[in-house]
Amino acid sequence: MATCSIPATNPGASGDSLYGPRICSQPFINWAWDAFDFDSGDWDDGFGYDAVCNNNLPLSRTLSGIWCLTYSADDYRNESYASNILQWGCRFARGALDELDARCGNGTDDARTWWGLQDNKTELYLGYFYNEPVAARAATLVHEARHADGKGHDNGNNDSSWGYNGAWRWDVCWLAWFAAVGTRTSVAMKTLATQRANNIINSRFTTHPGFNV
């Protein structure tokens, strides 16, 4: 068993001061717990199961990412796949992700998903909880859900092209729509989402798509 500890962190900077209080509501926690298939055995031992509203702990930070993914569209009740990914990203993620487990990881990486003929699951690591601001965590859930749906990367950890329609494209699209029309968030979080989307476009595709957002 690995042991890790909370790194230096500032909830104001990561957006957890904004989103943390929002997740601290029993109906939301109950819904998210079932919808994303959390198990207490994967979130106890200090990861936050016994202190779900403590926004320094991994469980609160994961739920903040889920809150952002769920409620950032103005009309969030419309989850139709005919609309943009900001509307249906959460629906897709909770349908595709089999279970979310908290682990230490190597200290900086964010998440990993297993799918196919094996135990399907997504592990979230320290990099997810502490290196990613809230909106990036939401986009990572979309990214991992794309993997869980059976689409891996086709060039190492990168995608060969925009047309490959892989997890990086989905990541970018969610961030771009969030930055463009997302609600219940800060100007700074939208700026961060735009920069992150462009960083992905400019570094994660073997063939550059020829645009930025």
Q: Please report, as residue ranges, which positions from 69 to 98 form the binding site for other proteins (by CB under 8 A).
A: 70-71, 76-77, 79-82, 84-85, 88, 90-92, 94-95
Q: Which of 57, 68, 138, 141 binds other proteins (CB under 8 A)?
A: 57
> Does 37 engage in binding with other proteins (CB under 8 A)?
no
> Does 184 engage in binding with other proteins (CB under 8 A)?
yes
> Does 20 engage in binding with other proteins (CB under 8 A)?
no
> Does 36 engage in binding with other proteins (CB under 8 A)?
no
Closest CB to other proteins among 38 and 115?
Answer: 115
> Does 40 engage in binding with other proteins (CB under 8 A)?
no
Which of 117, 116, 113, 110 has its CA nearest to residue 93? 113
User: Which residue is associated with the tokens 């909830």?
Assistant: 11
User: For residues 2 and 170, is the Cβ–Cβ distance under 8 A?
Assistant: no
* Contact positions with other proteins (CB under 8 A) in 92-151: 92, 94-95, 102-119, 121, 123, 125, 127-128, 130-133, 140, 143-144, 147, 149
DSSP string spanning 121-143? EEEE-HIIIIIS-HHHHHHHHHH
> Does 161 engage in binding with other proteins (CB under 8 A)?
no
At a CB cut-off of 8 Å and minimum separation 6, what does 198 contact? 212, 213
Which of 151, 133, 44, 22 has its CA nearest to residue 92? 151
